[in-house]
Amino acid sequence: MLVGWTARGQEPIDDYRLSKSMTATAIMPLTNRFSVDDAVVTVLPEFKMADPRYTKITARSSS
Q: Tell me the pLDDT tens digit for each residue of 14-43.
A: 666 677 778 778 877 877 888 888 999 998
pTM confidence score? 0.53
Domain that holds residue 27: 2-56
Indicate the residue type of 18: L
Q: Which of 43, 16, 17, 14 is nearest to 59 (CA)?
A: 43
The pLDDT-based confidence of 53 (bands split at 50, 70, 90) is very high
Do the domain assignments include residue 62? no
Collapsing DSSP to helix, strand or coil, 43 comes out as helix
Do the domain assignments include residue 25? yes
Q: Are 14 and 2 in contact (CB under 8 A)?
A: yes
Do the domain assignments include residue 63? no
Collapsing DSSP to helix, strand or coil, 26 comes out as helix
Domain count, the chain: 1
